[in-house]
Amino acid sequence: MELFNMFVAQEAESGDGGIAGMIAGAMAALGAALAIPAILMIVIIIAMWKIFVKAGRPGWESIIPIYNTYILTCEIAKKPILFFILTLVPCVNIIAAIIILIEVAKKFGKSTGFGIGMVIVPFICIPMLGFGSAAYEGGDGGGEVEAAEEPAEEAEADEEE
């Protein structure tokens, strides 16, 4: 440690800015290395929002930790609550996530291979599902908003007669 301090002191006395240049370069490289994953995460968050909306759920549910996993598992993929509990268990959660994402892919009319792609390359497949034309085919979960509107329309039709 003393040797390092002596080296830094000598560099500071020389005034050529060698250490400052190295630190600036390292920080620039670190910033660039962190920018790409940050951009990918933002794209995935927006895509998940769109997936939830396509499934008839409010988009904000996709950004609440743990709750979003519950909704994705039990409401969108229509899996039993046991699968949600398994997502909370270390190591087992990997297998549960694979099964859940395959089921989510199927609920949107995609293949098992696409579901596996959501696990292996989520930064490609999740945006494809969210921004693409795939529609939710999962049954009653996607129809909650429409089901609430239908009786009102029928009531109006009955009143007109």
Whether residue 14 is predicted with pLDDT greater than 90 in this model: the reply is: no
Residues of the chain with pLDDT > 90, as a percent, come to 65
3-class secondary structure per residue, the chain:
CHHHHHHHHHHHHHCCCHHHHHHHHHHHHHHHHHHHHHHHHHHHHHHHHHHHHHCCCCHHHHHCCCHHHHHHHHHHCCCCHHHHHHHCCCCHHHHHHHHHHHHHHHHCCCCHHHHHHHHHCHHHHHHHHHHCCCCCCCCCCCCHHHHHHHHHHHHHHHHHC
Q: Domain range holding 78? A: 2-160
pTM of the model: 0.71
Confidence of residue 144 (pLDDT cuts 50, 70, 90): very low
Of 98, 50, 60, which Cα lies nearest the Cα of 77?
Answer: 98
What is the residue type of 34? L
| Whole-angstrom distance, CA of residue 63 vs CA of residue 9 | 48
Tokens matching residue 14: 């020389």
| Mean pLDDT calculated for residue range 97-115 | 95
How many domains in the chain?
1
Of 70, 111, 106, which Cα lies nearest the Cα of 61?
Answer: 70
CA end-to-end span of the chain:
90
Residue 58 carries which DSSP code? -
Whether residue 128 is predicted with pLDDT greater than 60 in this model: the reply is: yes
| Mean pLDDT calculated for residue range 128-151 | 66
